[in-house]
């Protein structure tokens, strides 16, 4: 993504008095800064400036709310994760406003200037590529520092893939935990999943399509064959939801390339789930991973890391099973 401002216009620290006027149709303001925010009396307001966090469609432009469209048209500056993608959205609502990029690689350097603009009276709107800023996307740092500086912050709700997938999963929604993306490295990923193994809440993960097979295999190793759902391309033409056990989902992902934005929802742990695994359960989890195409060595390491069982102990269980004449030689 480019770090350059995508359209000519005032930079975040430019005082409101020096901004070039826009046509009245594009300056329809949000409610006065004192009328809404993070809580009555919680913020120091010097002018009409405010930070507005706007949720955007995750695939269908028709999901953009009228209030979100009004916020975009009334902004002095839009801070976007990808200015090229956000330009499509701005054109859709008829918003002729300047943009600047705000993403993982520049948020540390851009946060201060953006908030200086808010302090000077600007309305700065924050958006991400799709969904709600701050949920596995840039935004947390900007909101936190705005609150620390006593600047008005508003949030305009809208689509979020995590909630959409949860609703479609058919799994319990009374208690759930959003875990975002798992670590890329196998050891760190297994450690994170091991921490969640006993959590009774429904778990929601974002998954990169090219890592779907590995992530699902790791989940199967950590959680066993729990009920789960894989949702892809939500709200788009090719929306699809797979509902099955983790083992089947891991196998389907390994058999064919998963395309598009992916969210995985996994049932929580049973309240009576044992923390120490019996040898048969250890062996079962290794078998499940081998069946997805993972090597025996990798499966042993994954189960050991996910369950906290010493790797030597897992290897011993597998080695004894391989010497059993009644065992399936195809797996071991």
Contacts with 281 (C-beta within 8 Å, 6 or more apart), sequence order: 224
pLDDT (tens digit, 9 = 90+) per residue, 51-90?
Answer: 999 999 999 999 999 999 999 999 999 999 999 999 999 9
Residue 275 has pLDDT above 90, yes or no: no
CB 244 within 8 A of CB 273: no
Segment 280-295 mean pLDDT: 85
Say what the pLDDT of residue 47 is: 56
C-alpha 41/C-alpha 93 separation (Å) is 33
Token pair, residue 215, equals 């992530």
Query: Taking 60 as the threshold, does the pLDDT of residue 273 lie above it?
Result: no
**Residue from 314, 286, 268 nearest 217 by CA:** 286
Q: Global pTM? A: 0.72
pLDDT at residue 270, as a whole number? 81
Percentage of residues in the chain with pLDDT exceeding 90?
A: 61
Predicted pLDDT of residue 17: 39
């Amino acid at each position: 993504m480019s770090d350059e401002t995508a359209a000519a216009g005032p930079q975040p620290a430019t005082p409101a008095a020096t901004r070039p006027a826009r046509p009245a149709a594009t300056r329809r303001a949000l409610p006065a800064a004192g009328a809404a925010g993070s809580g009555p009396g919680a913020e120091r307001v010097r002018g009409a400036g405010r930070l507005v966090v706007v949720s955007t469609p995750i695939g269908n432009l028709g999901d953009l709310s009228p209030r979100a469209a009004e916020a975009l048209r009334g902004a002095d500056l839009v801070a976007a994760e990808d200015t090229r993608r956000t330009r499509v959205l701005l054109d859709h609502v008829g918003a002729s406003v300047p943009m600047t990029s705000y993403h993982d690689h520049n948020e540390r350097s851009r946060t201060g200037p953006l908030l200086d603009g808010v302090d000077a009276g600007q309305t700065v709107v924050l958006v991400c590529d799709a969904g709600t800023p701050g949920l596995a996307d840039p935004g947390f740092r900007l909101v936190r520092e705005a609150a620390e500086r006593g600047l008005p912050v508003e949030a305009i709700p809208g689509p979020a893939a995590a909630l959409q997938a949860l609703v479609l999963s058919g799994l319990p929604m009374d208690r759930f935990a959003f875990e975002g993306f798992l670590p890329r490295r196998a050891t760190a990923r297994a450690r994170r999943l091991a921490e969640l193994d006993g959590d009774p809440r429904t778990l929601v993960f974002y998954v990169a399509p090219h890592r779907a097979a590995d992530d699902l295999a790791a989940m199967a190793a950590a959680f066993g064959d729990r009920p789960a759902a894989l949702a892809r391309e939500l709200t788009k033409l090719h929306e699809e939801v797979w509902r099955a056990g983790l083992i089947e989902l891991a196998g389907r992902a390994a058999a064919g390339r998963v395309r598009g934005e992916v969210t995985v929802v996994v049932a929580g742990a049973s309240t009576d789930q044992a923390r120490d695994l019996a040898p048969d359960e250890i062996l079962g989890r290794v078998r499940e991973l081998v069946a997805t195409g993972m090597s025996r060595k990798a499966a042993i390491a994954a189960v050991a890391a996910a369950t906290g069982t010493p790797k030597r102990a897992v290897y011993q269980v597998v080695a004894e099973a391989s010497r059993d004449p009644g065992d399936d030689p195809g797996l071991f």
